[in-house]
Amino acid sequence: MATIKDVAERANVSISTVSRVVNGTATVAAAKRDKVLQVMAELKYQPNSAARALAGNKTGMLGIVANDLADPFFATLLKGVETEARQAGMQVLAACGHHDAEQEEAAIRSLLSRRCDALIVHSKDIPDQQLLDLLSECPVAVVVNREIPEIADRCIWFDNLAAGYMATKHLLAQGHQNIAWLGRNQNITDNVDRYIGFCNALGQAGIDHNKAYKAFGEATVEGGYQLAYELIRSKSEVTAIMAYNDAMAAGCLRALHELNYKLPDDCSVMGIDDVILGLVVYPQLTTVNYPVEDIGRTAVKKALALLADQQLEMTNHFSPKVVIRGSVASLRKSVLRKSGS
């Protein structure tokens, strides 16, 4: 590949002049500039990013560490990050944490070693303090979906408690009382917060959450399927299911179909996350929107602002919004239907 020197020689100018027309850092006589441009095209010159990074002390790269790139959730986050980064002329370097503390650390380290100008980090498995240590090596780091008090201004998270609360409220508003919680059997904060929101909403409605129906399992379609199948067979009085996330809710719908429930009248199902799965199932899922792509974009904006030393005030906290589709029915209908059949 051609270098800046090749271009300079062929265009009869110095390398600085070439550098100037490439970067637009200073005015260059029109004639020379045109000549340089022409030679660049002839030689298919592409500046060497490594050399640039070394000399200029910035790489133009934005690192992102996520858990699993194939997961729709992370894929959407990545998309948001990529979109925003590209607009700023930056490239995205992706590394996978694979839901494992050691690999998460390795991922961050490798990104650090690449001297990304900024890092967007989604990490659940590394403890706060260790994460702080790691990130202290990085000029700019924004943490996504996690709130670390020491760097709260560089965190962006979703209000999971409000999500659980609002979702449950929606179910209660439709008249449901016998609401089951289909939870995740892993104590990450998302899960705990959503569950607390659920309990709060029940409590406010005068329902003792200790007596509520609950089942815990894997936060996957399959997990939701199995839990719901068991639950419904033993507790047919349940009229609504509040699932930890859309994946579980989707599994839940499948279980109900298999049990020949007529949906949504025989049983309502509510999810949280608002991922594409919810549009695919029948009935389409009533859920709570989790603006992942937005979060990704905001994270990049924040990182960029930090890089530019701007004290740009921006929300670092996203609120949930109920998305009404077809999987929740009002209790009245459900009861009528049940007594009629």
Q: Which is nearer to DNA, 52 or 254 (CB)?
A: 52
308 binds DNA (CB under 7 A): no
Provide the edge-to-edge strand list for the sheet that holds 213-217: 213-217, 179-184, 240-243, 268-270
Distance of CA 161 to the CA centre of its chain: 17
Q: Does 3 bind a copy of itself (CB under 8 A)?
A: no
CB under 8 Å to 276, separation ≥6 — which residues? 72
Cα–Cα distance, 130 to 191 (Å, whole number): 22
Shortest distance, position 321 Cβ to a copy of itself, whole Å: 20
Rounding to the nearest 10 degrees, give the CA dihedral for residues 334, 337, 338, 341: -160
Size of the site for a copy of itself (CB under 8 A): 56
**Residue 9 or 293 having the CB closest to DNA:** 9
Please give the structure tokens belonging to residue 17.
């002049």
Site membership for a copy of itself, residue 137 (CB under 8 A): yes
Find the angle CA(247)-CA(251)-CA(254) to the nearest 5 degrees. 145
Decide: is 130 part of the binding site for a copy of itself (CB under 8 A). Answer: no
Count of residues binding DNA (CB under 7 A)?
A: 29
- Decide: is 192 part of the binding site for a copy of itself (CB under 8 A): no
Work out which of 34, 38, 48, 233 binds DNA, going by CB under 7 A. 48
With respect to a copy of itself, which residue has the nearer C-beta, 68 or 230? 68
Which span sits near DNA by CB under 7 A: 22-30, 247-255, 275-283, 324-332? 22-30
- Quote the least distance from Cβ 260 to a copy of itself, whole Å: 11
Name the residue type at position 248: M
Please state whether beta strands 141-144 and 179-184 pair in parallel, antiparallel, or not at all (unpaired).
Answer: unpaired
Question: Which region, judged by CB under 7 A, interacts with DNA, from 15-23, 74-82, 140-148, 173-181?
Answer: 15-23
Q: Decide: is 312 part of the binding site for a copy of itself (CB under 8 A).
A: no
Strand spans (E) along the chain: 61-66, 91-96, 118-121, 141-144, 155-158, 179-184, 213-217, 240-243, 268-270, 287-289, 317-318, 321-323
Q: Which tokens belong to 51?
A: 């050399």
Other Cβ atoms closer than 10 A to 208: 9
Contacts with a copy of itself by CB under 8 A lie at: 1, 44, 46-51, 53-54, 59, 61, 68-72, 74-76, 78-79, 82-83, 86, 91-96, 109-110, 112-115, 137, 221-222, 247, 250-251, 253-254, 257-258, 276-277, 279-284, 293
- The site for DNA (CB under 7 A) is made up of 3-5, 12-17, 19-20, 22-23, 25-29, 32-33, 45, 47-48, 51-52, 54-57
